[in-house]
Structure 1
C-alpha cells in the first residue's frame, strides 16, 4: 500500500562524554594542578512537522535512530564538544506514543513545529571541578550521563476539515475529484481507494477547505472487516462528515437505507465522539434516477432513515448540486472556526468597575 499511517521506531539520544583526569605539566611548575575538562553533552533527537510529507513509510524501513555521544573531556582545560543532534521529519498530524507506557507524548499539529523526543545525556565532570583548598590534586571524575532511549509508536491522522464516508462505490472518489484538486483512482469495482486522498476545495479567492476521502466501509469495519477500519482514525480530526449514499445501486435488492444505517452503526461502535460529529447525508448518483422519480425516492429515504439533519442531492459525475454543497460546507466550517476562537484577552486594569 502506498499510504503508511503507523510505524514503530527505536530512538536513542547520545550519551554524555566522560570527564577527564589530567594535571598540568609545565616547565618550572612541578605541581601545576588539575586541568581535566568536562565531557560534552550527548546529541538530542528532534522531530519536525514537515508539510511536504503525507506518509510514515520512511520509518518502516529505517527503524533505529541514534544521535552521537558527546566527546570526552581532555587535558589543558579542554571540554569535549557536544554530540551531533538528529532531526526526524514527520507528517503533520503525527501522534507519538511511548510503547512501554502507552502514554501519548506529542502531537505534531502545526507545520514546522519542532519538538524534542529524546534528550542527550549531560557530560561528566573532569577533575578540575573537584579542586578545593583541602584537595589540591583531585583524581575524581564522573562518567557521562546516558541519553534517553525509547521505543515509539508513530500514528498518522490526516488533518482535514471534511471527511467522506460511505460504502464502497458510493462515489466518494468521484466527488473529491469533481470538487477538489485530488485525482484518486476511479473504477467500477469496490475498494478502488486503498489509502486516504486529500483534496483542497477552492470556494473563492482565499476561501478553501480540505476534504479527505478514506477507503469505503462495510458492515463489521469497526471490528476489522474490509479496509476502512484502518482509516477511521483519519475522520476523528474532521469538523464535518459527509455520508455519501448511492441512491441508485446497480444490484437489485440492495437497500440504500440499510447500507446507510450500517455505516452509522459502525461509527458508533468505533468511536462515540466520531459518531457525535456533525454528519450530513449526501445522496449521490441522481443522474441514474429519472427526474420525475427523484422527489419520491428522496422522501422515502429520509422517512425510512428517520434522519432530521441536512440532506443534499447531487450527482458527482455531472456535478449537479455540487456547488450548493460546497458553499454550505464552507459556511459550516467557517462558523465552527469562529466559535472555536478563544475570546480576546481584556486587561482587568482597564475594565471599569460595575456600580453597586
Structure 2
C-alpha cells in the first residue's frame, strides 16, 4: 500500500508555511540565533538555517554579525525581522484635526503629522487636508507608493461596510463622501475606513490601559459621547457599523450630558464650549460648588449609557477616553459609584493614557492587521516577486 503522493505544490506550500513560522518567531523578539529560532518554531536547525538565508536574500530579515567574545569559538550570527520591508499609515480625520502616523511592519511609529482643520470645513477642504497629511507622510519618510501596505482612516460617526458614514456624522457634508473610493484612486494599497471610537478601543487593547483584557467597553467622554466595543478580543462593528451607538437613544442622556458643563453657572460666556468644559473641571478641583455640581450631573448622565453597555456586555474593563479623560481624577470615582448603583457587576474603570493619538493608533493597528493578513494569504515568496518586478 503506497502513501499519499506529495506534489511540488505541497512542498512549496510547506516551505512557505515554515518561512512564515520563522518570520513570526523573529517579529517582536530580540535578534535571535538559528538555534533559538529552531526552538521557538519547532523546526529542525538545518531547516531554519536555510530559511533564514532565504529570508535575508529576499529582504525579510537582516543579519547581525557576531562581535568579539572571550568565549572559545566564534559567536553565532543573529537574525532580526526587517520591519522596513513595508510601512502602514493610520489617520484620524477629526472635527478639529487630521493626525497621521506612519509605522513599519513591527508597528514602530517613524513619523507623525498633524494638521488643524476648522470644525465647519466642507468635505473638499477636509479631504485636501487629508491629502496633504498623507503626502507629508510619504515625503518625510521617503516612501514610494509600493512601500505602503495599508492605509486606515478613522472618522466620526457609524461607518458601514463601504466605509461611508450615511447614518450621521458631525463632519459637515461628510455623509456624501466616499473616502474609500477617494483614497483607493490615489494609493495602490488596501484602504479601510472605521469609526473613531472603535479604533480608540483597538488602540487601548494594543498599546493602552486594556492590554490585559479581551472584553472592553471604550467610552469616549468629551463634547461628544460615544463607545467602542471589543468582545472576545475582536472589534465589534455590528451589521451596519453602528454597534455601540447607544447614545442615539435619547433616554440614555448621552446627547445632552455635556450641556451640564456648558451651562455651568459662572462659566465665562466668552470661551468656547471645549474650553468651558476645561474651566468647569479646573474650577471644580478648586472647590467651586457650582462646578462640582455640573461635573456630578455630567457623570450621572454618562453613567446611564455606560451602565446599559455594562449590563448588556459584562466587560472586564471600561476605558474612559476622549478629551474629558484628562479629568479622570474627577470622573472615575463618581462614575464607579453610579455603576455600582445601576449594575449587577461593576468592571474595573481605567482612564486612557493615549491622549488624542488613540484613534490614529487604532487605525495603525488595523493597517498592521491587514499587512499580517497579506503576508499570510499572499505569501512571502509572491510578495518578494512583486517587489522585484
Q: Same fold (TM over 0.5)?
A: no
Q: TM-score, normalised by structure 2?
A: 0.24
The structure that has the greater radius of gyration is: 1
More helix by share: 2
Q: Which has the higher strand share?
A: 1
TM-score by length of 1: 0.26
